[in-house]
Amino acid sequence: PRPLTAAALSCRRYVAGGQCKSTAKLEGKVAIITGANTGIGKETARDLARRGKVIVACRDIAKAEAAASEIRAETGNQQVIVKKLDLADTKSIREFAEKFLAEEKELHILINNAGVMLCPYSKTADGFEMHLGVNHLGHFLLTFLLLERLKQSAPARIVNVSSLAHHGGRIRFHDLHSEKSYNRGLAYCHSKLANVLFTRELARRLQGKSQRGAEFTANALHPGSVRSELIRHSFVMMWLWKIFSFLLKTPWEGAQTSVYCAVAEELDSVTGQYFSDCQPAYVSPRGRDDETAKKLWSVSCELLGIQWD
């Protein structure tokens, strides 16, 4: 390949975005990362494995084991543990949480990273539209089930991987599962807006709730446009991403803001915020609507059959 010109190099640097500079160690601490067998989830797990214990929570156990053994070999950390979690099935989420709580006495970081994008119309095991079910409701339930353990382990952090796509989203309470009309691009946007609203309302409810006065935070982030398997359902997107791959982040670059939100010391008491490139970013007006956030919270509890006050 030809060497990059100065203009191309500076363009590439711009695309790469911010980097997490924190060298914080997580000795004796436990982190869960959903969907950590590929893409930015795997890179986030690789980074955190250099710092402490990581639970790789994935649907595909074979892929997860391959990723975990690669990370163990590279980091020398044997505390990279694979657990089965299918976010499209509340039974699997409950089983994962039950096993985790029986085996681990502490949880310091929960990174809700897994996601689906541009799926043809389909429903989860519980009848939820797939984007909403996996990207929002699955993580909502997982967080609910692990919340007490996080509180007991404070200081603790919840990190929700959202997207710039939340700007195109709306919470359509009249057709939450897109049964009347479905557009897979918009369905993804709606679910990413739900991530932002969930983070906002969760942070509001968590304030002053941790034990021993330790900080307990929840933040959301946009990882950037990343070369990953997330677009596998769209031939057009795969074709476009091949052509414009120069303008996309690598999975390592895309993981930087997740890592930053999980470990950076300057975020110890920062909560309810939205980040991109390791710095605060603009949230759409719909993402700042507290009434919608509260309503989405109660509707989510209803759909999942839980009481979360």
Q: Is residue 10 part of a domain?
A: no
Instruction: Write out pLDDT tens, residues 236-285.
Output: 555 554 555 556 778 899 999 999 999 999 999 999 999 999 999 999 99
Q: Containing domain of residue 109, as a range? A: 23-304
How large is the average pLDDT for residues 161-174? 96
The CATH number of the domain holding residue 66 is 3.40.50.720
182 is catalytic: no
Q: Does the residue 2 lie in any domain?
A: no
CB neighbourhood size of 229 (10 A): 12
> Out of 14, 121, 182, 188, which one is annotated catalytic?
188
In angstroms, the CA 159 to CA 56 distance is 15
The two most distant CA atoms of the chain are separated, in Å, by: 59
Tens digits of per-residue pLDDT, 287-304? 999 999 999 999 999 999
In a domain, 17, yes or no: no
Whether residue 298 is contained in a domain is answered as yes
How many domains would you assign to the chain? 1
pTM value surpassing 0.85:
yes
